[in-house]
Amino acid sequence: MARKRVRQEEEASIDMTPMLDIVFIMLIFFIVTTSFVKESGIDVNRPTAATATKKKAANIFIAVKENGEVYMEKRAVDVERVRANVERMLAEQPEASVVIQADKNAKHGVVVDVMDQVKAAGIDKISVAADPGS
């Protein structure tokens, strides 16, 4: 019986599977550990305050423009709809805190109405954004 000889010259190849597994696991790790920042999407001219401090994290941003328009998640909302939007966001993140970014020329009545709506939604952690004074 004649045996066929197996070719000894098989091509040398590197198995990429373990490296791809590690890269995929690292990708998942970075996606999970990244904190996603939601902004109101509107630039406002914030007032300056000598005692302004930087807040570590906030989950809900509400912008109040000079003309009284209120923005949440890059869209205009009525003041009466702020509570419903905050309640929806609160269902997604129960430990949420709110930052109100009010223009320095905005009427404080609108800002107070927004704060009332946020309080009515059940959030006690409300901050008003300000630029640090010099």
Taking residue 89's Cβ as centre, other Cβ atoms within 10 Å add up to 18
19 located within any domain? no
Write down the pLDDT at residue 116.
93
57 located within any domain? yes
125 located within any domain? yes
Write down the pLDDT at residue 115.
92
* Count of domains forming the chain: 1
Q: Within the chain, which residues score under 50 in pLDDT?
A: none
37 located within any domain? no
Q: Can you tell me the distance from the alpha carbon of 122 to that of 96, in angstroms, rounded to the nearest whole number?
A: 10
For residue 129, give the nearest of 74, 52, 26 by alpha carbon: 52
How long is the chain? Answer: 134
Q: Can you tell me the distance from the alpha carbon of 20 to that of 26, in angstroms, rounded to the nearest whole number?
A: 10
For residue 100, give the nearest of 92, 91, 108 by alpha carbon: 108
Write down the pLDDT at residue 33.
78
What's the whole-model pTM score? 0.64
Q: What is the CATH number of the domain that holds 68?
A: 3.30.420.270
2 located within any domain? no
Domain range for 98? 48-132
